[in-house]
Structure 1
Amino acid sequence: MTTMETNQPLAVYAIINGEKVESEQQFPRENPANPNEIVCYAPVTTREQAAQAIDAAYEAFKTWKWTSVDDRITRMRRAIAKLKEATPELARLLSLEHGKPLYDSEGEFAISIMWMEFACDNVKEATQEEYKEHEKGKTIITHDPIGVVSAISPWNYPISLSTIKIAPALLAGNTLVLKPSPFAPLAVTKVVEIIAHEFPPGVINIVHGEADVGVELTSNPKVAKIAFTGGTNTAKHIMKAASETIKKMTLELGGNDAAIILPGFDVNNKKDMRRIVISNFLTAGQICMIAKRMYVHRSIYDDFVKKYVEAANQWIRVGGPFNPNTTVGPVNNKNQKEYVQKLVDDARNKGAEVIKLGEIIDPELFEQGYFLQPTLVLGCDYRDPIVVEEQFGPTVPLLVYDDIEQVIELHNESIYGLTSSVWGPEEEAIKVARRIEAGTTMINTAAVQGLDVRFPFGGVKQSGVGREYGIDGIISYTETHVINLPIELDLPYIPE
């Protein structure tokens, strides 16, 4: 079975103030493994409808912010229970519209639910009121909800990168309007519908559409915070739109995450080598925290290339998302496929060696879908586009270095700093990690293999502002309010 059987395209809709809302215009979402098949039609929400969703959230906030944290947790746990029950079907819808293999979609739901449960378990501690008595009097510190949150999520991990915003926002007492990507609108709408059923109307809303909807979500004065995951260039426009009303922001942006392979790395360790391959090609390389460029010390370079190709050929099986043998599916959309192919062709034309990896197990499907065979690119210059740009697809350049100072400089000169990884003896790897400019550095692992929702995640430099996950990811949806009760109301240095 290579595709999911559907009788007709499925319905997608906006949810505003608890009601399903359709639009006059719709846009199709094709199956990336078979672009001739339309998976769903999503509404083109108008800017006016987006404003209505914000108005609904604004009104709902007036009462929702006063609900007890216990009530919010109870509602969220009911939603989580229903999401768990619906995961098998929802994961299939996600694979159908996104292209990622079914195991990958199921994994995304598992991570999402893990985070939502963590947020439920820890929101009380994160937002607990502090009461302090001291020589100057008394101080009460509260963590209050902010207001209406505009959440904008991308197509590559639409469920986890939506729930990463939804759970802490609602649990902290905010209301929310979500806009998912038009390249993955179906499964996330079903998820929001399930969650919305457990909350009062207007607390959580979802809209779809074009750039004008995004402008409304980021400029409307009733929006108090923006939570965005996506490209750095888009974030620059969001920051400009939000500047008029000085909105709070959490931005998780692009990265050009490097893997640094130290001379002490054991190339014969099959488990670690497989881990590196997965860190390059999971979700067809379409993960913000994937290892997008590799630097290998010259002393082990030849052996590393040989063992890497062996490991890649063992793990990579390119096919349709519902083929149980598939490990790498198609790229999500035509534009992304063309962009990645252009980077590979540019490197080849400049003299780089392009090595095709893995096995194509669905040849007929491969020819008609947005598939790219994974590639390892050797002999690039350090400044080639495939090295300095974020490929976001199934290709990775491998470069040689001679000393650690050289590779640290190459890493840190990037405008990005989301994640990174260092591979080798633990003590030496940690020393290198401490000198790397990144929000997260993983040792002997990378990508979602090293993700832990208990700890903060985010980028430095142009890879983002703020943190998600962990206690920090809950606190970021609150305002700190300090209430002072001084004993002495008169200060000695102020004249009578």
Structure 2
Amino acid sequence: MLMRIGGKESASLDEAWTEVENPATGEVIDRIPAGSPDDVARAVDTAEAAFRTWKKKTPRDRGMILFHAAQNVRQQHKDLARLLTMEQGKPLTESIDEVRGFANILEFYAGISAQLSGDTIRLGAAGDCMVVREPLGVCGAIIPWNMPVLIMGWKIGPALLAGNTLVLKPASTTSLTNLQLGKILDESSLPPGVLNIVTGSGNSVGEALVKHPSVRKISFTGNIATGLRIRDLAHQSLKAVTLELGGSDPMIVMNDADIDKAVEGAVRGRFYNAGQTCTAVKRLYLHEKIAGPFVLKLKARIESLRIGNGLEPAIDMGPMNSPMQRERIEKIIDEARDTNSGTILTGGCPMKEGSYKQGYFYSPTLVTDVTTGSRLVTEELFGPVLPVMTVPDLETAISEANNTRFGLGASIWTSNLATTKRAFDEIRAGIIWVNRHLTVPPEVPFGGTNESGIGRENGHHALDQYSETKTLFLGW
């Protein structure tokens, strides 16, 4: 599979390659160019040239191209989903949902394209002002491996509708579906050079993209350390940044909640995509009055999950995306055992026997009696491990939920409106769900507080992140 620059397939100028593995089998399924800073420069030059004409198209015309691309994605969703499962590992049903989600995003932005407008300010004797929003120019986007298709949509939808051109760097382990989507966009009348995809490592391609003087904005989704470095590099040239840096989302279940619904919510919220989701349930707080029966039901439900190759039928959870991700989870669980900082009720080990031998599988894990300060709750657990804590009341639950450096999402499970309002008012997070978790439609602004990041994706709010105001002052 080749990079896409200027609407055409292109190899790296250095002619180096990176293999892409199926995490369920360890099989090499394709290879991608290991791009270089020279490739980034070539892509940015191409994007600059395309920007001159793309910015002149009306928002409605740009929206029609996005809508046409969405229709083509829907027609090919099965093939795209299969490719996504093969390179990322998630079950085919989840891949189908993600590809359809990509189409939903493009359709949403196409749908609001005719609504983009400016403001008129009447100033009396001083005159009148017309305020419009203009695109920034060439933007850069760096996306992760966990939800590569959905997050690609989050970046390109508002960026392109606002009139920018884009250079996208996908994750090295999950570039194939991104490249195929780029091809579909090119075939859907997107002018050459409006969207360019350069594959390669973060140290080479990612850093070159952030440092390039012609790139006006960087949107990054990934870990905190990389995000902070991108922020510092971007600020040296006053680039705009949007950073989504993960979270440690709490789920609070009160004693008046629907227990069965909350159990299902916890299982889906934690083990969807093998727990490799920014907004996954990463800390579960149960009111002490319902903790016992809740944990019993939760344990049984977790043990019923079917684990395997995501291409097989009726699979609930696939492998982790890479051996590095699995090793990190192993170390945290081993530490919990060694320090008695949690009781492992089920799971807690890599799956390396039989049909799991060649893949990067880890057993769905439930841990109770988790102590304060354990890495199970202080770090972002990016894998199929659910730590459970018991709380005596809502005040304690909110205090524990806020005891984190993150602030991405949270959920409260209750039938009490006053409880809902207090949780919404006091929990520090960018999005708070009530009696559900994880869902983020394209209409809803998404982003976090504290070390979970800067800026917002999705909705009308994202368009503001990809444009700037320009004022015409009329002095009569």
- TM surpasses 0.5: yes
Q: CA deviation at 1:239?
A: 0.9
In structure 1, C-alpha distance between the alignment counterparts of 2:25 and 2:73, rounded to whole Å: 28
Deviates more, 1:435-444 or 1:408-417: 408-417
Name which of structure 1's ranges 100-109 and 294-303 shifts more when overlaid on structure 2. Answer: 294-303
CA distance in 2, matches of 1:17, 1:301: 57
**TM-aligned CA deviation for residue 363 of structure 1:** 6.1
The share of aligned pairs that are identical, in percent, is 35
Corresponding position: 1:303 with 2:303: no
The 1-side partners of 2:472 and 2:323 are apart by 54
Residue correspondence of structure 1 range 153-302 to structure 2 within 5 A: 153-197=143-187, 198-210=189-201, 211-267=203-259, 270-302=260-292
Are 1:13 and 2:2 an aligned pair?
A: yes
Where does 1:361-376 land on structure 2 (aligned, <5 Å)? 364-376=354-366
For 1:434, which of 425, 428, 444 is the aligned residue? 425
SS of aligned partner of 2:107: helix
Partner of 1:390: 380
In 1, Cα distance between the equivalents of 2:388 and 2:261?
A: 19
For residues 194-220 of structure 1, give each alpha carbon's deviation from its aligned partner in whole angstroms, at most 9, with x where no partner exists. Answer: 112322211110001121211111011
Decide which of 470, 484, 492 is 2:473's aligned counterpart.
484
Cα distance in 1, alignment partners of residues 135 and 72 from structure 2? 26
Q: How does 1:68-83 map to 2 (within 5 A)?
A: 68-83=58-73
Q: Whole-Å Cα distance in 1 between the matches of residues 198 and 454 of structure 2?
A: 24
For residues 129-165 of structure 1, the C-alpha deviation after alignment (integer angstroms, 9 at most, x for no partner) is 2233342421111011110010110000001101111
Change (3 A) 1:169 1:73: same
1:158-190 per-position Cα deviation (integer Å, ceiling 9, x unaligned): 011011111111111100000000010111110
Q: Could you list the runs of 5+ residues in structure 1 that have no partner in the other structure?
A: 1-11, 488-496
Residues 1:27 and 2:21 aligned together:
no
CA contact (8 A) 2:352 2:359 kept: no
User: In the alignment, is the contact (CA less than 8 A) between 1:31 and 1:97 conserved in 2?
Assistant: yes
Count of aligned positions: 468
Alignment of 1:34-45 (within 5 A): 34-35=25-26, 37-45=27-35
Alignment pair present for 1:112 and 2:112: no
How far apart in 2 are the matches of 1:141 and 1:242? 27
Deviation at 1:362, TM superposition (A): 11
- Aligned equivalents of 2:146 and 2:410: distance in 1? 19
Q: Distance in 1 between matches of 2:76 and 2:458?
A: 24
Distance in 2 separating the partners of 1:356 and 1:445 = 24
Inter-CA distance 361–346: structure 2 relative to 1 (3 Å threshold): closer
Q: C-alpha distance in 2, partners of 1:200/1:118?
A: 20
Residue 424 of structure 1: aligned partner:
414
Residue 331 (structure 1) aligned to one of 308, 316, 320 = 320
Matched residues in 1 for 2:279 and 2:416: separation?
21
What is the alpha-carbon distance in structure 2 between the residues aligned to residue 242 and residue 431 of structure 1? 38
Amino acid corresponding to residue 31 of structure 1 in structure 2: N
Question: TM (normalized to structure 2)?
Answer: 0.95
**Conserved in 1, the CA contact under 8 Å of 2:253 and 2:287?**
yes
Letter paired with 1:468: E
CA RMSD of superposed structures (Å): 1.7
Given that 2:253 and 2:262 are in contact with CA atoms closer than 8 Å, whether structure 1 keeps it comes out as: no
Provide the residue aligned with 1:490 in structure 2: none
Structure 1 equivalent of residue 44 of structure 2:
54
Deviation at 1:409, TM superposition (A): 2.0
Is the contact between residue 382 and residue 399 of structure 1 (CA under 8 Å) also seen in structure 2?
no
CA distance in structure 1 between the aligned counterparts of 2:117 and 2:463, rounded to whole angstroms:
12
Q: Which amino acid aligns with 2:428?
A: E
Q: Are 1:141 and 2:114 an aligned pair?
A: no
Q: Could you tell me the TM-score, scaled by structure 1's length?
A: 0.91
Range 433-442 or range 400-409, more displaced: 400-409
Structure 1 runs of 4+ aligned residues shifted over 3 Å read 360-363
> CA-to-partner distance for each residue in 1:407-429, whole Å, 9 max, x for gaps?
22222131100001111124112
Specify the alignment match of 1:491 in structure 2. Answer: none
After superposing the two structures, state which structure 1 stretch, 129-138 or 70-79, moved more: 129-138
Q: Show CA shifts across 1:97-120 (max 9, x none).
A: 110000000010111111111111
Q: CA deviation at 1:361?
A: 12
CA drift at 1:403: 2.9
SS of aligned partner of 2:357: helix
Task: Indicate if the aligned counterparts of 1:309 and 1:357 stay in contact, CA closer than 8 A.
Answer: no
The answer as to whether partners of 1:426 and 1:443 remain within 8 angstroms in 2 is no
Supply the distance in 1 between the matched residues of 2:160 and 2:359 (Cα, whole angstroms). Answer: 38
Cα pair distance change 1:58/1:167, threshold 3 Å:
same
In structure 2, the residue matched to 1:101 is 91
Q: Which moved more, 1:151-160 or 1:162-171?
A: 162-171
Letter of the aligned partner of 1:377 in structure 2? V
Instruction: State the Cα distance separating 1:485 from its structure 2 match.
Output: 1.6
